[in-house]
Amino acid sequence: MCGIVGYIGREQAAPILLEGLSRLEYRGYDSAGVAVFDAQAGALAVRKAKGRLQVLSDQLHGGADLDSTVGVGHTRWATHGAPSDINSHPQVSRSGKIAVVHNGIIENYAELKGFLQSKGVPFVSETDTEVVAQLIEYFYDGDLLAAVGRVLRRIQGAYALGILCADCPDQIVAVRKDSPLILGYGEGCNFITSDVTAILRHTRSVGYMEDGELAVLTREGIRCCNHLMQPIEKEIVTVDWEMDAAEKGGYEHFMFKEIMEQPEALRRCLSPRIREGEIVFEDFSLDQDYIKNMRRIYIVACGSSYHVGMVGKYHLERLTRIPVEVALGSEFRYMDPIVDDHTLVIVISQSGETLDTMAALREARRLGGHILSIVNVVGSSIARESDQVLYTWAGPEIAVATTKAYTTQLALLSLLALWLAKRLGTVPEEDFRSMLAAFQELPDKMEEVLSRREDIQYFASRYFNHDSIFFMGRNIDYALGLEGSLKLKEISYIHSEAYASGELKHGTISLIEDGTLVVALSTYSGLFAKAMSNVVEVKARGGSVLALTVEPRKAEMAQTADGVMTIPDIHNLLLPCLGVVPLQLFAYYVALMRGCDIDKPRNLAKSVTVE
């Protein structure tokens, strides 16, 4: 997804911008560019290149070619117009006086472009962003802020903007609406960025811009104002993420590092919340009356976070007896959802910036739902717009394919289900105790799974050259299969689908032929016999079966399946948290053996901030 970095200070800007942009590469992008104020020429210098950031950096000799102490940089993930040098950001106005970097989408750009064209303004790119640069110049009469203000009143959509003007060489203007933008406060220098990772080397003092806010950065400070252009005081907070946490830490890929970090991430997420035999949510509470009168729970999310919701539905309904609907963020606002003030809406998002999830959140709020979000990125848009937030505390997740965010979301949602059940009186005390004990065992058991990763590597070496792989399971194992299948297809590019095992005979079984690989998930002991009969069905049609089950069932499963992956037994509530780890490792090793770009799979972005 697009990334923004801006710098104004006393050092050379271009190397700082390029280094900052390199920290954002993990977000996924297809081109990059920078604009700086070239004091000698008295004009803006803009350089852009399609492809990896390295291409741009090589062209600029690491930034040495541009002599300037103020500039903005961008990594672009194409929305309007194909990836190309011309369509990359910064986009500039016709005279070259205004340069703009932009994350988001200007929804009414076609209408505005038509207006400007009718006034004789020529356009060179296919982007919506060029409209912003051209419109600022159109309104500009020597007062940049006034021109920006007029543009903001006309553009619709989502935007984080960094703006440079050749007439104002000692400032950067920043604007935010529905797309994240962060201010960085340094010594004699200041920054803007869409992601704090890009500026952590320079400062840990940041301010999160709110929707409608505008900021003017100079070397001496940052002035902020609201949408009415009235001055406001921005709260400056200190970011305590270590830079190391955002680096690969010796592993070949961020994804592998993040898989291995899961026990630690779970400890961070769970330990402060389980104290003296009770669940303690210091960061959150729900009124007892509200809980008692809750009629429905909605879980809203996209991708892997949605899969967390699919598992969560089983747990929440089993434990609380409250009906749970799970909806895709992208569908929710179009399906006329039944939400009222007795509906708890649980919004799940790693990034906290997924646009579809955010739109669903707003729709749920409009309908009167109470919004509780489960989010990883602190201070993200979804976190800030929710009534309440439970942070997963998984630390920065860099690989595009989520791993530690998934397991921490799932653990936290499961803990929430148990907490609600306790408050509702729908869980016997003895069961509550044994479930709570399982949460405490979870990180150690996960370490055990990770320590046996060679077993999974072996299965990956057996099956990595398959063209198509199916996952099947029932109940929580079905929900787990959805995630296992997504993980595999997104990073290895192998075609893969997940089915509820019982659906096999309703159509899917026609796909099974000699050698077809089916990953049969059977961690849930209550349905082991049913799972076995599906394994037999697949085998009878010539398919190969790689099973996943709990250790006590291994021998039985091995009598029929071609290979068996195992996890230690644990309470049903936490089986998917453990069970997903062999599936993550399987996907990882398969992708590795196929030579795929694991951390940055093609066409994918870490944070999807467009519809």
Q: Give residues in contact with ligand F6R (CB under 6 A).
A: 302-305, 349-351, 354, 357, 401-402, 486, 490, 607-608
Nearer to ligand F6R, 197 or 607 (CB): 607
Give me the residues paired with residue 498 across strands.
471
Block residue for tokens 């299948």: 485
- In sequence order, what DSSP letters do the residues of 333-366 get, joined into one string? TTS-----TTEEEEEEESSS--HHHHHHHHHHHH
For residues 156-173, one letter each, b for 16 or more C-beta atoms within 10 angstroms of the residue's C-beta and e for the rest, the string is ebbbbbbbbbbebbebbb
CB of 173 within 8 A of CB of 223? no
Contacts for 513 with CB less than 8 Å, ≥ 6 apart: 541, 542, 543
From the list 283, 284, 308, 312, the residue with the least C-alpha distance to 297 is: 312
Decide: helix, strand or coil at residue 579: helix
Q: What angle do CA 456, 459, 463 make, to 5 degrees?
A: 140
Work out how close the CB of 591 gets to ligand F6R at its nearest, in angstroms, rounded to a whole number.
12
Nearer to ligand F6R, 217 or 399 (CB): 399
Contacts for 531 with CB less than 8 Å, ≥ 6 apart: 473, 474, 477, 501, 520, 521, 522, 524, 549
Decide: helix, strand or coil at residue 520: strand
Compute CA distances 364 → 335, 343, 345, 369, whole Å.
12, 9, 7, 5
Nearer to ligand F6R, 488 or 545 (CB): 488
Decide: helix, strand or coil at residue 208: strand
Decide: helix, strand or coil at residue 570: coil
Q: What are the respective helix, strand and coil percentages of the chain, to the nearest 5?
A: 40, 25, 35
Q: Please give the single-letter amino acid code of residue 96.
A: G
Work out how close the CB of 240 gets to ligand F6R at its nearest, in angstroms, rounded to a whole number.
21
Give me the residues paired with residue 32 across strands.
49, 75
Work out how close the CB of 227 gets to ligand F6R at its nearest, in angstroms, rounded to a whole number.
26
Work out how close the CB of 601 gets to ligand F6R at its nearest, in angstroms, rounded to a whole number.
9
Nearer to ligand F6R, 185 or 208 (CB): 208
Token pair for 551:
């250790």
Block residue for tokens 């303004």: 121
Question: Which residue in the shown chain puts its C-beta closest to ligand F6R?
Answer: 303
CB of 147 within 8 A of CB of 136? yes
Rg (the chain; Cα; Å): 26
- In sequence order, what DSSP letters do the residues of 216-267 get, joined into one string? EE-SS-EEEE-TT--EEPPPPEE----GGGGS-TT-S-HHHHHHHTHHHHHH
List the catalytic residues: 2, 606
Work out how close the CB of 118 gets to ligand F6R at its nearest, in angstroms, rounded to a whole number.
39
CB of 73 within 8 A of CB of 4? yes
CB of 35 within 8 A of CB of 63? no
- Alpha helices by DSSP H, 425-475: 429-451, 453-463
Nearer to ligand F6R, 102 or 606 (CB): 606
Token pair for 224:
């902020």
Nearer to ligand F6R, 232 or 604 (CB): 604
Nearer to ligand F6R, 414 or 607 (CB): 607
Nearer to ligand F6R, 169 or 303 (CB): 303
Work out how close the CB of 167 gets to ligand F6R at its nearest, in angstroms, rounded to a whole number.
39
Instruction: Tell me the C-alpha distance between 584 and 355, whole Å.
Output: 26
Nearer to ligand F6R, 337 or 601 (CB): 601
Instruction: Tell me the C-alpha distance between 263 and 268, whole Å.
Output: 9
Work out how close the CB of 388 gets to ligand F6R at its nearest, in angstroms, rounded to a whole number.
17
Q: What dihedral angle (degrees, nearest 10) is formed by the CA atoms of 37, 39, 44, 45? A: -90
Nearer to ligand F6R, 215 or 583 (CB): 583
Work out how close the CB of 42 gets to ligand F6R at its nearest, in angstroms, rounded to a whole number.
43
Work out how close the CB of 283 gets to ligand F6R at its nearest, in angstroms, rounded to a whole number.
19
Work out how close the CB of 171 gets to ligand F6R at its nearest, in angstroms, rounded to a whole number.
33
Q: Please give the single-letter amino acid code of residue 28.
A: G
